[in-house]
Structure 1
Amino acid sequence: MKFITAFSSLVAITAATARTAATSVNNNAQKHYLFEGLSVSDIYESLKGSLSPFEAETLINERNSKVHYSKVDSDVWPLDLSQYENLQVIRIPFDQTTITDRAQFIQSIRKEHTVWEYTDRFMDVQLSNSELDLLNYGHDYKLQYEIIIPDLAQSVYETYPNHQPQAEQDILTSSDFHIESELFFDQYRPLETIYGWLDLLKETYPDLVNIEHLGYTHENREIKALHLSSATGSNPTKKTVVITAGIHAREWISVSTALYVIHQLLTRYGTNKRETLYLNHLDFLIIPVFNPDGYEYTWTRDRLWRKNRQDTPIDECKGIDIDHSFGYHWSRSEDFPCGESYSGEEQFQAVEAKVLDTYINVTKVDHDIYGFLDLHSYTQKILYPYAYSCDDSPRDIENLLELSYGLSKAVRMKKGKHYEVLPACKDRGTDVIPGLGAGSALDYMYHIRARWAFQFKLRDTGTHGFLLPSRSIRPVGKEIYSGIKYFCQFIINPELSLL
């Protein structure tokens, strides 16, 4: 309880200043910017006690060898990096005596701060240096935490692609670019380039690819799905696998991974027995950028934006969390429009959620949807239903668990990365605070249409969080594709042991 008091004092001291600063940057009222604080070198100095002298020196030298974001010409850089100045991300473990009431502790932090990730063991929180300094001020205890991203502005700068718009378009027409190669996955790609690449896939593989129009976003951007099958017309006799990515805009690795899966299925068809089997026996409906408005916003205004870009009852606060908007066990528990998990005023209020509902239950009503995979980041997990409650068990729980661990094993055998298997309710925190998992795409698809449904939370475990370097695109793609192959084989023949 002592921490709650301390945190309330912290909020009272900083809230007014934070709100004033936030209104001048992207109209983003839920983030705190432009505080004075520690320098990068000061932060690293504070870490030396937990590192060997060699490790600390290596860390500092690596940082000093890179161009600092303050040296960037702000007139040509697409993002205003000053909005991330003096911000860092800390990890607070729950196994400490200071936290006597986890639910109250979590709610106190979520009320005023950006929570990057929550698990049953810790939460990652974005704070200003000033807020961190005040965290334990005037109290006789010390809250334990770890600084996982000491300089958020620098991390955004280092992981943001530096390609100019024309260069992005030129890559698709360059003589060095071939659709069969993996050159496209050297970098994260903006929305316009992604949509151009999808069109190129349709031209290259006309007998396997059909681009389907799902609808339009609040800002009138098209939401596209790729229908992959050896027969591009509607074939409801096949079992269907639905894959979504990019529901949360800042999770770029989910978008790149969905694109990588598409690439592998198409380029290997006809030459590889497995991919040929999959496309001959399954329909794939893949939505690689489920939240086009939010994704575009992360490229032009705020790299860490999460929601879509719909209007809310508060003019300064845009966006609904699409993954809290689906009409299965929806609730208004996330009712603050400026909050990152705002669920809207009614179910399916998020345009994208309603578009998927119509697509699945009207356009594809005759399709036998066997599998649903929803790609997110981060923390390396495979989550199964339900998210809304830990009290209700999903149907076929034994088979669901067996498939979950099979997916985890398939991923681990590819690149050696462990993906923890959990019910989604524990990952969401629903077991501690009811309502945190309401209205999810996972629960909706599992309950309404899909026989099997999972959410993949991709790399990493927190070193980079949402700012995963582009060098990880292909490794993540390969390991997740290994899991998806296992999933496809299971759907085609559940009795077959793959591994």
Structure 2
Amino acid sequence: MIVKGQEDLEPWQFRRHYDEAIQRNYRDYKLIRITPRSEENLDYLKDLFHSQSPYELDFWQPPTHIGGLVDVTVAPQDAEIFVRDLDNHQLDYLVAINDLEQAIKSERSQDASIDYMQDPSEFRLDKYNTWSSIEEHLYKLRDENPDLVTLIEIGRTHENRSVLVVKVGGQRALTPEKVSIWVDAGIHAREWIAPATALIALDKLVNEYKRDPEIQNFLDNIDWYILPVMNPDGYDYTHSKNRMWRKNRRPAQCKKNYFHTICCSGVDLNRNFDWFFGSSGSSSDPCHETYHGPSAFSEPESRAVKEFLEKNPVKAFITLHSYSQLWLIPYGHRKRSYPQDYSTALRPLALRATKALNKLYGTKYAVGTGADLMYEASGASHDYAKGTLHIPYAYLIELRPKSTMFANGFLLPEKEIRPTGEETWEALKIIADEMIGQFVQPKIRPSTEKPIATTETQATETPYPYTEPTAPTTPKRLAVKTTRRTEERVVEPSSTTASPSSSTILPAPQKVVKCKDYGSYCKWWKIHNLCDKERVQQLCALSCLPECQI
């Protein structure tokens, strides 16, 4: 039994409750998409969301502002009277999904359907995989790539499942110390596209390391900590019993309500972090979808993440959610509340990342805080990461689909998994590139000659907000040295071209050079005479190799 505050003296919300051991069927449930046009409309919808409701409702998108779409499902026995009530309040609405159960079945690819559900061991990146198949895949990935992949169990859930973090990192770092990036997904059980996207990013890092210089650069200079499913109990429950379950599987708490005893399970893990815990956008009602739990870090999943990040500091924290196509920046607990570096570091990098994402398929993301763009919500993980752990860059990404009149919300079709994962990877590459440029680049020094005198900020690690280092004040000296080294490299093979007959066996044409720089920091490395390093030449061919400068 939890200790209830003053606002909890009111009876808990009236809801119909179901046997959680039986698979939930959503036949004839409706998804109603509502557009509030006035303050009266908005207040009515907020009352339904926060207070007692005579209907069985599940808000997928809560009411936030005038003109903002509100997604809510309603039980078939309540649908007719609920729609009549909307008409009486002069609300604009449409029935986006007429049969939720059919929409759940249509979420799967046509060629997978029932057979795929009956084979949980099958793993594919273009499918929504079960937890058991994901777990098996992670162990297989580790066994096949022992030099790159490490599995770390950071905790155990209420139902004794492993909270598994995949550490991915290369062995050819340019500096003794590497930076780290954290990516988690699946904190909300029904947001299936989030784990699928994290798994695609993981696949790209592991399987393209040996053939892609850009991936080599990322892994050799960054340790990636990827938690594909933060809420494995809830995620497994959405596959086996209730597709629309949101919370974790904390054992039920029971209380008498009038003549009934109500028992409700689960905690919203993204309200359970200790950042203005319980102050806004969360509920103390265990039956509510945003129940924040009895105390901050009361849940083993959120506590495991907290303790791991305290012991393993990272420079970037990214948590994947769905849906709405939003790139959210701290802080989300209150409107117009921002970190000091919001405009100088966090937002500019977010805009660059979403621009790269947009280039692939034209998908548009809005950038801002959750409180400004959506609704206030305290106790979120990305706010805690920035505000308490002081991680320089912390973001929450709401993936596809966008909140439009004809979108399916959480039920994103499987055919959109790969495009979502690929475009999100383009954004993650921007984050990774910035982490190297900002936190790795300033530490690199030539090993055979003294560095040229520069400003103090170039001799130490650059704190955020990051500004591009300026060139030294002796450009003539640098140009001479670079030219001399270039001439020496060019003259050596040209001496073999004395006779035409020997030109067919020149070693140079046999080596195909891809003239491309794999980071914005390559020019900086060239200025500081690092092009004599073999690894730098591989990553910065355009800037360093003379054959690329013709």
Determine helix, strand or coil for the equivalent of 1:260.
Answer: helix
Contact 1:411 1:417 in 2 (8 A): yes
User: For residue 440 of structure 1, what is the amino acid of its counterpart?
Assistant: A
Residue 89 (structure 1) aligns with: 31
Distance in 1 (CA, whole Å) between partners of 2:236 and 2:41 is 39
Unaligned runs of 5+ in 1: 1-14, 28-78, 173-183, 431-436
Q: In the TM superposition, what is the alpha-carbon distance from 1:395 to its structure 2 partner?
A: 2.2
Residue 294 (structure 2) aligns with: 345
Change (3 A) 1:296 1:141: closer
Distance in 1 (CA, whole Å) between partners of 2:91 and 2:139 is 52
Residue 115 (structure 1) aligns with: 59
Q: Structure 1, residues 58-82: CA drift from partner, whole Å, max 9, x if none?
A: xxxxxxxxxxxxxxxxxxxxx846x
Contact 2:180 2:316 in 1 (8 A): yes
Contact 2:331 2:371 in 1 (8 A): yes
Q: Structure 1, residues 114-146: CA drift from partner, whole Å, max 9, x if none?
A: 110235412111113443422364876532112
TM-score (norm 1): 0.76
Structure 1 residues 241-280: aligned runs within 5 Å: 241-280=181-220
Determine helix, strand or coil for the equivalent of 1:223.
Answer: strand
Distance in 2 (CA, whole Å) between partners of 1:449 and 1:303 is 35
Contact 1:294 1:309 in 2 (8 A): yes
Structure 1 residues 271-310: aligned runs within 5 Å: 271-310=211-250
Contact 1:388 1:425 in 2 (8 A): yes
Q: Structure 1, residues 415-469: CA drift from partner, whole Å, max 9, x if none?
A: 1111111212124412xxxxxx110001011121411011111111241111111
Q: In the TM superposition, what is the alpha-carbon distance from 1:187 to its structure 2 partner?
A: 1.3
Unaligned runs of 5+ in 2: 1-12, 255-261, 439-467, 469-518, 522-550
Which structure is larger by alpha-carbon Rg, 1 or 2? 2
TM-score (norm 2): 0.69
Q: Structure 1, residues 456-483: CA drift from partner, whole Å, max 9, x if none?
A: 1111124111111111111111000010
Distance in 2 (CA, whole Å) between partners of 1:357 and 1:109 is 30
Distance in 1 (CA, whole Å) between partners of 2:176 and 2:382 is 22
| CA RMSD in angstroms, aligned pairs only | 2.5
Contact 2:41 2:89 in 1 (8 A): no
Contact 1:210 1:227 in 2 (8 A): yes
Contact 1:136 1:142 in 2 (8 A): no
Structure 1 residues 329-478: aligned runs within 5 Å: 329-331=276-278, 333-362=282-311, 364=312, 367=313, 369-398=314-343, 399-430=345-376, 437-447=377-387, 448-462=389-403, 463-478=407-422
Determine helix, strand or coil for the equivalent of 1:422.
Answer: strand
Change (3 A) 1:324 1:232: farther
Contact 2:187 2:231 in 1 (8 A): yes
Distance in 2 (CA, whole Å) between partners of 1:467 and 1:232 is 42
Contact 2:30 2:79 in 1 (8 A): no
Distance in 1 (CA, whole Å) between partners of 2:176 and 2:50 is 44
Change (3 A) 1:372 1:190: same
Change (3 A) 1:136 1:153: closer
User: For residue 167 of structure 1, what is the amino acid of its counterpart?
Assistant: D
1:150 aligns with 2:94: no
The percent of aligned pairs where both chains have the same amino acid is 29
Point out 4+ residue stretches in structure 1 off by more than 4 angstroms.
138-141
Determine helix, strand or coil for the equivalent of 1:275.
Answer: helix
Change (3 A) 1:412 1:262: same
User: For residue 93 of structure 1, what is the amino acid of its counterpart?
Assistant: T
Aligned to 1:319, which of 236, 244, 266? 266
User: For residue 420 of structure 2, what is the amino acid of its counterpart?
Assistant: V
Contact 2:330 2:339 in 1 (8 A): yes
Distance in 2 (CA, whole Å) between partners of 1:155 and 1:236 is 52
Q: In the TM superposition, what is the alpha-carbon distance from 1:387 to its structure 2 partner?
A: 0.9
Change (3 A) 1:135 1:210: same
- Number of matched pairs: 403
User: For residue 330 of structure 1, what is the amino acid of its counterpart?
Assistant: F
User: For residue 352 of structure 2, what is the amino acid of its counterpart?
Assistant: G
Distance in 2 (CA, whole Å) between partners of 1:232 and 1:248 is 36
User: For residue 202 of structure 1, what is the amino acid of its counterpart?
Assistant: R
Distance in 2 (CA, whole Å) between partners of 1:140 and 1:443 is 40
User: For residue 386 of structure 2, what is the amino acid of its counterpart?
Assistant: Y
Contact 1:212 1:225 in 2 (8 A): yes
1:128 aligns with 2:75: yes
Q: In the TM superposition, what is the alpha-carbon distance from 1:490 to its structure 2 partner?
A: 1.3
Once structures 1 and 2 are overlaid, which stretch shifts more, 304-313 or 251-260? 304-313
Contact 2:35 2:91 in 1 (8 A): no
Contact 2:433 2:520 in 1 (8 A): no
Distance in 1 (CA, whole Å) between partners of 2:234 and 2:125 is 21
User: For residue 343 of structure 1, what is the amino acid of its counterpart?
Assistant: H
Q: Structure 1, residues 167-212: CA drift from partner, whole Å, max 9, x if none?
A: 342x46xxxxxxxxxxx21311101110111111111111110000
Structure 1 residues 481-492: aligned runs within 5 Å: 481-492=425-436
User: For residue 355 of structure 1, what is the amino acid of its counterpart?
Assistant: A
